[in-house]
Amino acid sequence: EDPAAILEIKEDIRDECAKVAEITNVVLFDKEPDGVASVRFSNAEGAKACVRMMDGRFFSGTKVEAYIAEGNEKFKKSSEKKSQIEDEEQGNEEGQRIDKFGSWLEGGEE
């Protein structure tokens, strides 16, 4: 639940996945005990390439299970308001804008 650790993990995921395709959003579901992240790409081919690269790899001693989401997954994360405050404190206005847009796309609040 350390905000700095959460941001670092999101950045690590973004950096690694960006090696194969353009990333539009990374969401870390920090309330999930198994550690769940969602990475959104600018196109389907990039998402498939990332799944091929990441599935089965190890991250901090944990084996990664990468797959294309069906859209009906429900994972838990810290409140959006808390995330926005943390983003503002880090001066990450772009990340905040992208997270807000991602939530909007997923049918959440603006």
Q: For every residue of 75-86, which 3-state class applies, written as one string?
A: CCCCCHHHHHHH
> Residues 28, 87: contact at Cβ < 8 Å?
no
pLDDT tens-digit map of 66-79:
999 887 778 888 86
Residue 97 pLDDT more than 60? Answer: yes
Lowest mean pLDDT among 13-17, 79-83, 106-110: 79-83
Alpha-carbon gap, residue 28 to 75, rounded angstroms: 10
How sure is the predictor about 82, in pLDDT bands with cuts at 50, 70 and 90?
low
Amino acid identity for residue 62 in this structure: T
Contacts of 36 (CB under 8 A, 6+ apart): 28, 29, 75
DSSP β-bridge partners for residue 38: 27
Check residue 18 and give its pLDDT: 95
